[in-house]
Chains A and B, each alone.
Chain A
Amino acid sequence: MTGFAIVSMPQLAAAIPADVDCLIVSASYEERAHSVYEAVFAPRGTPTYVCYNENHETYLRNSVDRLAKGSGAVRVPLDSDDPRKTFEALKGAVESVASHKARHVGIDVTGFTRESLAMLLLLCRTYVSSECKLTTYYHRARTYSVDVGRGWLSQGVRDVRSILGYAGRVKVSGSIHLILIAGFEIERAMAIVDTVGPSRITLGVLSSAGAQRDPTNPHVATLQRFIGRTEAMCMGMRLTKFEFSTSDAAFTRDAIRAIPRQENENTTIACLNSKPAMVGVCTAAIGLPDIQLVYAQPSAYNIANYSEPSHQVLVAPIRWTD
Chain B
Amino acid sequence: MIEEHNPFWVWSPDDIPAAKATELFVDTFTDFPEVESPGHTFLNGPRGSGKSMMFRMMRADCARLRRSNSALKDLPYIGLYVPIKKTEITQTEMVYLDQQPARYVFSEHLLCLYVAQKVCDELSSPRFDYDGLSWQGSAEWMRRHVTPRLGTVELAGASQTTSIPEVFASINTVLKLHWDKAESIIRRIPLQPDVFQTFDDTPLSYHGFLLPLVEAVGRLPWFGGRPIYLLMDDVDNLSLTQTQILNTWIAARSTTTVCIKASTQLRYKTRLTFGGLRIEAPHDYNEVDVSVLYTTRRENYQQRLELIASRRLKAKGLTEDPRAFFREDSDQAAEIQRIESELRARFDRGDGRGARQRDDVNRYARPEYIRRLGGERKASSKYSYSGFDQLAHVSSGVIRWFLEPASRMYTAQQTSSGGAVALIEPHIQNQVVREFAEEFFVDDLRELKKDAKTDAGGGPPLREREQDYERLELLIEAMGRTFHDILVDENRAERRVFSIALSDRPDETVQRVLDLGVAEGYLYRATIGTKSGLGRTARYVLSRRLAPYFTLDPTSFSGYLFVTSSNLRNAMHTANALLRAHGEVDVIQIEMPL
- Interface residue ranges, A against B (CB under 8 Å): 55, 58-59, 83-84, 87, 126, 152, 155-156, 158, 160-165, 167, 169-173, 176, 187, 194-197, 199, 235-237, 266, 268, 289, 292, 294, 299-300, 302-304
Contacts and interface: CB of A to CB of B under 8 A. Distances in A.
Contacts of A266: 87-88
A84 B95 contact: yes
A315 B10 CA distance: 46
A164 B86 contact: no
B201 interface: no
Interface string B435-461: 000000001100110110010010111
- Tell which of B9, B86, B237 has the most Cβ of chain A within 10 Å: B86
A197 B176 contact: no
A170 B469 contact: no
Interface in B468-487: 469
A169 B83 CA distance: 18
B299 interface: no
Closest 5 CB pairs of A and B: A58-B460, A172-B117, A167-B91, A300-B451, A84-B95
Contacts of A235: 2, 9
B179 interface: yes
12 contacts: A83-B92, A155-B447, A162-B92, A163-B92, A164-B95, A171-B176, A197-B85, A235-B2, A236-B10, A268-B87, A299-B465, A300-B451
Contact of B9 (A158, A195, A236): A236
A153 to B, nearest CB: 11
A164 B190 contact: yes
A160 B190 contact: no
Given A162-B92, A196-B87, A169 B183 contact: yes
Contacts of A126: 191
A235 to B, nearest CB: 6
A93 to B, nearest CB: 15
A237 B14 CA distance: 11
B118 interface: yes
Nearest to A187: B443
A299 B472 CA distance: 14
B252 to A, nearest CB: 23
Given A83-B92, A176-B85, A236-B11, A303 B454 contact: yes
Given A162-B87, A164-B93, A236 B47 contact: no
A236 B87 contact: no
B432 interface: no
B187 interface: yes
Contacts of B9: 235-236
B15 interface: yes
Interface residues of B, number: 52
- Tell which of B9, B14, B451 has the most Cβ of chain A within 10 Å: B451
A171 B11 CA distance: 25
Contacts of B460: 58-59
Given A161-B87, A162-B87, A165-B191, 10 more contacts: A58-B460, A84-B190, A156-B448, A164-B92, A164-B190, A170-B183, A173-B172, A199-B15, A236-B15, A300-B462
Contacts of A167: 91-93, 183, 186-187
Nearest to A55: B463
A173 B92 contact: no
Nearest to A115: B92
Contacts of A83: 92, 95
B407 to A, nearest CB: 8
Nearest to B95: A84
B92 A236 contact: no
A155 B91 contact: no
A162 B91 contact: yes
Interface in B148-190: 172, 176, 179-180, 183, 186-187, 190
A155 B191 contact: no
Contacts of A158: 465
A236 B114 contact: no
A236 B16 CA distance: 10
A172 B454 CA distance: 44
Nearest to B265: A194
Contacts of A164: 92-93, 95, 190
Contacts of A289: 187
B96 interface: yes
Contact of A292 (B83, B87, B89, B466): B87
B73 to A, nearest CB: 26
B117 A173 contact: yes
A87 B443 contact: no
Contact of B92 (A59, A161, A187): A161
A13 to B, nearest CB: 33
A161 B87 CA distance: 7
A89 to B, nearest CB: 13
B450 A152 contact: yes
B273 to A, nearest CB: 25
A275 B360 CA distance: 63
A300 B92 contact: no
A195 B86 contact: yes
Interface in B23-77: 47
B12 interface: yes
B425 interface: no
Contacts of B457: 304
A155 B87 CA distance: 22
Interface in B329-353: none
Contacts of B83: 197
Contacts of A58: 459-461
A236 B187 CA distance: 33
A156 B120 CA distance: 37
Contact of A169 (B3, B95, B114, B187): B187
Contacts of B121: 172-173
Nearest to B187: A167
Nearest to A292: B87
